[in-house]
Amino acid sequence: HLNGTEISPVLPLHLPPQYTAVVKWIHNDVQDDDIREELKMKYKSIYYLESMHGTKSEYTRHVKIEMLNRREYESLLNSGKVNLMGDSYEVNEFLPAPKVLICGRCNRPGYTKKYCQSSAFDTCRRCGGDRTNIQAHKSCIVKCHHCGGEHEATSYKCPLISDFRRELIKQLKNHPERLPPQIQLFIPSDYRNKKDGARTIFSSRQYDGGSYQKSVNQNYYDRNDSQAWPSLVPAITTDTTSV
């Protein structure tokens, strides 16, 4: 209650990726609910757990775990392994892929609705029509108004969005110093340069206080140092259209 008014907070479905880990190669016959129940006996702050789209093979998959408590998160990463149903599984830090800023009015990448000069009305990302009447666009025909394809205008299936994202990743690779020193990004497999094979982008800059030491050639990850980043990790192929 606040000044006599009852407030019911709406919790987010997902947390920011800072305290997110990936448990890899889990057998498909082990259900997410069973994993959650067993891990919560040791890690009380687990907020959300789900199988990762695009990682499932005939026998195994990866599972993403979001946590609230930093110490529990670091403990999980430091262990490097978790035991589930009598088997031991590898644990890695979750690295988010670069996301594209998309205008909420015209659905074009690179700027926000506040600076949009491409449309005088909110454009439906499904059909490209005027979205003033939201109810009329809940079941409209899906046809991208950028390229005419059978997908939403904000989907990475659209060449306009995909090409912008590719150029964004290229610029970040060429100028990693523009990233904050504590940020490391995962490069989706479709956007990697086959010549250099790079799977991540990270800054070589240091914190002002000098406590963070990171170089492009770092090959050692001290799991007892909460500010250290690991060396390059195996690729996790995901099919995501989040923006």
- pLDDT of 1 reads 67
DSSP bridge pairs for 200? 186
- pLDDT of 226 reads 44
- pLDDT of 204 reads 67
Which tokens sit at 128?
Answer: 């490209």
pTM of the model: 0.60
- pLDDT of 179 reads 81
- pLDDT of 88 reads 94
Which tokens sit at 237?
Answer: 């192929």
Which residues of the chain, if any, have pLDDT below 50? 207-243
Which tokens sit at 45?
Answer: 């702050």
Q: Tell me the pLDDT tens digit for each residue of 14-23.
A: 888 889 999 9
What does the alpha-carbon distance between residue 107 and residue 110 come to, in Å, rounded to a whole number? 10
3-state SS, residue 202: strand
- pLDDT of 157 reads 93
- pLDDT of 22 reads 95
- pLDDT of 31 reads 95
What length is written for the chain?
Answer: 243
| Opening angle at CA 32, ends 71 and 184, nearest 5 | 45
- pLDDT of 198 reads 82
Domain annotation for the chain: domains and CATH numbers = 17-93 (3.30.70.330)
Strands 20-27 and 87-93 come out as antiparallel
